[in-house]
Amino acid sequence: MNSDLGLLNLIRKSRDGFSKGQRKLADYILANYEKAAFLTALQLGQKVGVSESTVVRFAYSLGLSGYPEFQSKLADMVQEKIHSIERIEIAGGAMPQEQVLDNVLKADADKIGLTLDTIDRQAFGMAVEDILNAEHVYVVGVRSCAPLATFLTYYLKLIRRNVTQVESTNISELYEQMLHVSEKDVVVGISFPRYSMRTLKALEFANNRNAKVIAITDSKHSPMNMYSSCNLFARSDMASIVDSLVAPMSVINALIVAMCLKCDKQVIGNLEMLDSVIMDYQYEGNDEIDFLNENVLLELQKMSGDEE
C-alpha cells in the first residue's frame, strides 16, 4: 500500500481518539484531501471552523514533523491520483465510450472549481500589476503549453506594448530571444506536467537577470517555483495522453480581463486603432494576390524555390 494513502487510513483509524475539532478536520480531509493539499494551516482551519493551532496539532498527532510534512503527503497523493488512476482508467478503456464526453467535461469543471478554491488572490493581483508595469513582457510556454502562451501573448499585445512570445526548439534559441531581459522586465513561464526543461531554464535565466518571474503551473511542487517570485497554481490533470489545460486557460482569461479593467481606455484606444488599420488596408474578394507586375511574381517564385 502506498504510504501516503496509508495516511488516510491512519486518519480513519485514529478518528475516535481525536478531539471534537480534530474530528471535524479528519472528516473534511477524508472527503476533500485534494482541496486540503493546497491550503495553508490557517486556510484549512478557516474552512473547517477550527484554529490554526488545532490544525498543526492534528499533524503532530499523526506522528508527522508538522503541517508542512502533512501537506506534502496530501499533495503527493493528489499527484499520484492524477498520474495513475485517471490516466489508466481512460487509456485502458475502463471508461465506457458513451460516458467520455460527460466525464471529461465534468472533470474539467471540477479542476476549475478546485483552482478557484485554492488560487492565491494576492499573487494574482501582483501578477496583474507586474505585467502592466513591466518595461517588456516575455511569455514562455512550449509543447502542450504553447497554445496558452500564444493566447496570452495575443491579448497582451492588445493591452500594452513590448510583448514577446519566446518560441524555440532548443535552449540556445531561447537565450537569443531573451538576451536583453533585465530587472525592469517580467517573464511569464507556463508549464505543467510533464514539465519543460526549456521553460525552467528560461525562468532561471530571467531570475539571474533580476527580472520578475511569474509561474503559471500546477502546484507548489512544480520545479518552476524555484525561480519565480509570483506563483499562480491551476489544476492540470492528465487523462491518457491528453493534458487538461482548461483551468490554466481560465486563469489566463482572468489575468487578461483584470488587466483590461485596469487600463480600459488604453485597450479601447488600441482596438479603435486596429479597426482603423483594418479599414484602411481591407480588401474584397478571395484571399489571392493579383500580380500586376510579372517581375514581382518571378522574384517571389525564386525566393520560394518554385521558379519554373
Q: Where are the domains of the chain?
A: 3-94, 119-265
d(CA 167, CA 139): 9
C-alpha angle with apex 41: 188 to 130, nearest 5 degrees? 20
* 133 within 8 A of 230, measured Cβ to Cβ: no
Residues of the chain with pLDDT under 50: 1-4, 83-92, 291-292, 307-308
Please give the pLDDT value at position 50.
Answer: 93
* CATH 3.40.50.10490 applies to domain 119-265: yes
d(CA 212, CA 225): 12
d(CA 28, CA 25): 5
* CATH 3.40.50.720 applies to domain 3-94: no
Reference 159, options 276, 257, 232; nearest CA is 257
Copy the grid coordinates of residue 251: 486563469
Pairing mode, strands 212-217 and 186-190:
parallel
Classify residue 229 by its DSSP letter: S
- Name residue 51's beta-bridge partners: none
Amino acid identity, residue 68? P
Please give the pLDDT value at position 139.
Answer: 96
C-alpha dist (Å) from residue 279 to 273, 274, 282, 288: 10, 9, 5, 18
